[in-house]
């Protein structure tokens, strides 16, 4: 019970503080915070908005798992951003070149995306273990190299219609129907009314759930997950226990990149191509979601939904003019910063209480010895 | 001369010699490949303009990391400086604008210090949070203040100077000679190239650029020769030992991180008031991160940070004026020679893997140089980042960072 209280205190406290700070920010510029929150919640109560939120939460969650795999062993894969965009482009191009039976076509695209993400992240892992290059710096540089260099180059080369392109034909050639994961509106509509406004719930949601389950089983049921957590908690002890540290670093980076490769597939399935302006920033947002959800497969679900809710709320705020829509990004930033601080504080209180309890227990046994 | 003797020469003599060797190499390459942009005054001017914010961010990182706090939030602090600098300069004029920019960055630093020092949040995590929060704040404020989340009206900036005698500046009405221009115009091989590059550093000089250069000796003095510097360093090397001597470690960590934010903020204000003439989201172009790379390249020393910033700034600056890709193409030959030198150096140290890697890259650069007349734009865009990676790949193991960098500290070892 006490443990649960501790686990909940930080996120709840962070949430309350975020509301207070954002309300002040809104009020300072003459908006009414309550009507803004009211608009956001009223909007989110609609089925169509919920579809939007899930569509947004799906890539955020996958991205968070990618970041969390690294975080679990104190590796900071800041490069999720570059990994997913690069994987997205290559997968879109490969997918557009072939026509296969649906299952194989989808699997091919996924495999390519996963392999590209894994390979690109692997570079940072290999550089770390062989050359001692800090992965934070190397992944930041690899981001820039992928986005301003490789993607710019390949996108130009793979431009669908080289002669006379218009804004609608920009991007890679469209992927045939057989390569796309169908939407899962049908599954939802069993329980609800029909989804309107032409909204489609992405089939990648199922993939995201599978990724979350795989991550959970990896950590709790598999030797590798144990090694991963052990190396993160105490690298020296892990090494003494026979866990090869270098191999773990590379494996964690590769696995993290593999998950990152899947992020772009949400947009790929929606647009059936790599458009010249893909959704950017999911990699960095995923880091935030992972931190907020404490790298926990369940916690990250809530964090991803919260971030997705805030992202989607930007649209309604713009419509109703209740507040500047940028406030949602502020709320994301504040909730993240406050939450990481709150986690630190509760962890410290908890360890202090544990130390106290141990000391008391020790004193009690000593007292018994004296008595006998 | 043996390597040891060479390393005993003071750094302020060694580095100019390296620089001269570098310029000599550029001159020779220019002779071979019929390009004149590598040593033009406009190139070094762009280099400096690019390098200043990178350097300021890197120097900020130095203050923070010397105090033991990793600061990847520099990018966020730089972005805060960009916004507040622009806002200040629009409302209160250029000079106050710079101060407000410093203040904006320092607030980011304070936030980082509160999280990492007081609440013991992991330094990278807090930095990531600040990097996410800062652009959100600036977008919100821009939208509220200027009605657009990404752009501001034009900002104002202090006038630029030419240094007297070297760059033909005016002192009290007396128009001094422009020595470097005259040497450049003599068109002597090598000497005029050096003069041309130097002239870019002394003409059209922005106050912040001058300040940035002066900050190198000042910071060296502060870090190595003063009580403040000693205590700052002990906070990053061995805080418990410092605490035992009665030093208020928490105070010095806070000071380091807040100064760090202020310097990054100044770099940001320089971008929005001088470089782009307005606040524009995304104009930081990752300079905060590159500053961090310059810090590592410079081995956590002020002079080294400047050298790193100038090196990265040179590649960026060259790319900016190199529309046909010929200058970046000529740079491939420079890459070949430098990588070849690295291969030989590694071979003398019996480092087989380094030798092979450098040799392969050198040959690759050479083959590319032979087979094309110009390089495509995407290559010049990524060259600075590739350079950062290569520098780290070959030299990361020779670097020495503060011993307690990134470690949590609690008073009394709790």
CA distance B83 to B86: 5
pLDDT along chain B (414 residues), means of 10: 68 78 82 75 85 95 94 94 94 92 96 91 88 90 84 78 70 70 75 79 83 92 93 91 90 96 96 86 83 87 90 83 76 87 87 87 89 80 84 78 80 62
pLDDT value, residue B414:
47
| pLDDT tens per residue, range A85-142 | 999 999 999 998 888 888 999 999 999 999 999 999 999 999 999 888 888 889 988 9
Residue scoring higher pLDDT (B258 or A247) = B258
pLDDT value, residue A169:
62
With a CB cutoff of 8 Å and minimum separation 6, the contacts of B153 are B90, B146, B278
> What chain A residue is nearest to B292 in terms of C-alpha separation?
A137
With a CB cutoff of 8 Å and minimum separation 6, the contacts of A160 are A169, A170, A171, A172, A173, A174, A273
> What chain B residue is nearest to A29 in terms of C-alpha separation?
B144
Ordered by start, the domain boundaries in chain B are 40-160+206-322
User: What's the length of chain A?
Assistant: 372
Contact list in A for residue B392 (CB cut-off 8 A) is 127, 131, 133-134, 137-138
**Residue A372, pLDDT above cutoff 70:** no
pLDDT value, residue A99:
87
**Residues B83/B269, Cβ–Cβ less than 8 Å:** no
Mean pLDDT (whole number) for A341-363: 84
Q: Give the CATH number of domain A32-323.
A: 1.10.3470
Question: Which residues of A sit within 8 Å Cβ distance of B?
Answer: 25, 29, 76, 78, 127, 130-134, 136-138, 140-142, 144-145, 148-150, 152-153, 284-285, 287-288, 291, 324-327, 329-330, 332-334, 336-337, 340-341, 343-345, 348
State whether B128 and A288 contact (CB < 8 Å).
yes
User: What's the length of chain B?
Assistant: 414
Mean pLDDT (whole number) for A278-289: 90
Contact list in A for residue B134 (CB cut-off 8 A) is 333
CA distance B26 to B15: 16
pLDDT value, residue B227:
93
The proportion of chain A whose per-residue pLDDT surpasses 70, expressed as a percent, equals 95
- Between A and B, how many residue pairs show a Cβ–Cβ distance under 8 A? 132
Contact list in A for residue B379 (CB cut-off 8 A) is 149
Mean pLDDT (whole number) for A322-337: 85
**Residue A214, pLDDT above cutoff 80:** yes
Q: How confident is the model at residue A168 (pLDDT cuts 50, 70, 90)?
A: low
CA distance B130 to B137: 10
Q: Which of B128, B353, B385 sits opposite A144 (nearest CB)?
A: B385
Ordered by start, the domain boundaries in chain A are 32-323
Q: How many CA atoms lie within 13 A of A199 on its CB side?
A: 19
User: How does B181-199 read in b/e, with b if 16+ C-beta sit within 10 Å?
Assistant: bebbeeeeeeebbbbbbbb
With a CB cutoff of 8 Å and minimum separation 6, the contacts of A33 are A22, A23, A26, A27, A323
> Chain B: nearest CA to A145, how far in angstroms?
5
Helix then strand count (H, E) for chain B reads: 17, 4
């Amino acid at each position: 019970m006490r443990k649960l209280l501790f686990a909940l205190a930080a996120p709840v406290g962070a949430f309350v503080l975020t509301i207070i700070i954002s309300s002040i920010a809104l009020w300072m510029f003459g908006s009414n915070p309550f009507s803004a929150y009211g608009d956001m919640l009223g909007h989110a109560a609609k089925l169509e908005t919920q579809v939007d939120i899930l569509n947004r939460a799906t890539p955020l969650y996958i991205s968070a798992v990618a970041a969390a795999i690294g975080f679990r062993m104190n590796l900071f894969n800041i490069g999720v951003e570059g990994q997913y965009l690069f994987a997205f482009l290559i997968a879109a191009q490969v997918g557009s070149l072939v026509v296969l039976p649906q299952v194989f076509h989808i699997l091919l695209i996924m495999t390519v995306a996963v392999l590209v993400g894994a390979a690109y992240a692997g570079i940072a892992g290999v550089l770390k273990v062989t050359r001692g290059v800090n992965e934070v710096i190397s992944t930041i540089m690899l981001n820039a190299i992928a986005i301003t260099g490789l993607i710019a180059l390949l996108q130009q080369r793979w431009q669908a219609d080289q002669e006379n392109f218009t804004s609608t034909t920009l991007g890679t050639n469209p992927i045939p129907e057989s390569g796309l994961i169908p939407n899962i509106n049908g599954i939802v509509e069993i329980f609800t009314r029909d989804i309107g406004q032409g909204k489609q719930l992405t089939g990648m949601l199922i993939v995201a759930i599978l990724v979350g389950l795989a991550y959970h089983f990896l950590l709790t049921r598999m030797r590798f997950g144990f090694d991963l957590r052990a190396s993160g908690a105490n690298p020296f002890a892990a090494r003494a226990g026979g866990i090869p540290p270098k191999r773990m670093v590379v494996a964690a980076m590769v696995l993290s990149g593999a998950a990152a490769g899947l992020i772009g597939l949400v947009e790929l399935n929606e647009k059936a191509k790599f458009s010249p302006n893909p959704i950017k920033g999911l990699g960095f947002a995923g880091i935030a979601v992972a931190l907020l959800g404490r790298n926990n497969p369940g916690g990250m679900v809530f964090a991803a939904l919260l971030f997705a809710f805030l992202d989607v709320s930007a649209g309604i705020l713009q419509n109703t003019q209740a507040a500047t829509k940028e406030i949602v990004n502020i709320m994301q930033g504040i909730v993240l910063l406050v939450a990481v601080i709150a986690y630190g504080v509760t962890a410290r209180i908890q360890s202090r209480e544990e130390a106290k309890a141990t000391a008391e227990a020790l004193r009690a046994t000593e007292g018994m010895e004296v008595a006998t | 001369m043996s390597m040891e003797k060479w390393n005993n020469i003071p750094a302020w003599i060694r580095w100019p010699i390296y620089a001269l060797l570098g310029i000599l190499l550029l001159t020779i390459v220019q002779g071979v490949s019929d390009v004149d942009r590598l040593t033009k005054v406009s190139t070094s001017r762009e280099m400096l303009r690019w390098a200043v914010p990178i350097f300021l961010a890197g120097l900020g990182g130095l203050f923070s990391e010397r105090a033991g706090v990793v600061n990847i939030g520099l990018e966020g602090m730089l972005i805060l400086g960009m916004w507040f600098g622009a806002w200040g300069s629009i409302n209160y004029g250029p000079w106050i604008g710079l101060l407000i920019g410093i203040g904006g960055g320092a607030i980011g630093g304070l936030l980082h210090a509160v999280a990492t020092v007081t609440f013991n949040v992991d330094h990278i995590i807090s930095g990531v949070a600040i990097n996410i929060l800062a652009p959100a704040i600036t977008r919100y404020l821009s939208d509220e203040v200027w009605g657009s989340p990404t752009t501001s009206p034009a900002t104002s900036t202090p006038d630029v100077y030419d240094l007297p005698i070297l760059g033909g500046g005016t002192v009290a009405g007396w128009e001094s000679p422009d020595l470097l221009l005259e040497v450049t115009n003599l068109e002597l091989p090598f000497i005029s190239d050096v003069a041309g590059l130097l002239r870019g550093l002394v003409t059209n000089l922005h106050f912040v650029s001058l300040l940035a250069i002066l900050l190198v000796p000042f910071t060296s003095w502060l870090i190595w020769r003063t009580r403040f510097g000693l205590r700052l360093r002990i906070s990053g090397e061995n805080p418990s030992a410092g605490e035992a001597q009665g030093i208020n470690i928490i105070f010095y960590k806070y000071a380091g991180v807040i100064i760090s934010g202020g310097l990054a903020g100044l770099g940001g204000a320089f971008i929005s008031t001088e470089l782009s003439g307005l606040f524009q989201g995304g104009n930081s172009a990752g300079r905060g991160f590159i500053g961090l790379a310059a810090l590592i390249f410079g081995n956590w020393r002020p002079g080294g940070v400047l050298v790193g910033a100038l090196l990265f700034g040179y590649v960026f600056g060259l790319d900016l004026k190199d529309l046909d890709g010929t200058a970046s193409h000529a740079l491939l030959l420079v890459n070949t020679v430098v990588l070849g030198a690295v291969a030989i150096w590694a071979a003398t140290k019996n480092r087989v893997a380094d030798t092979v890697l450098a040799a392969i890259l050198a040959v690759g650069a050479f083959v590319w140089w032979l087979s094309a007349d110009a390089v495509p734009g995407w290559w010049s865009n990524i060259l600075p980042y590739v350079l950062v990676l290569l520098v780290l790949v070959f030299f990361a193991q020779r670097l020495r960072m503060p011993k307690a960098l990134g470690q949590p500290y609690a008073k009394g070892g709790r």
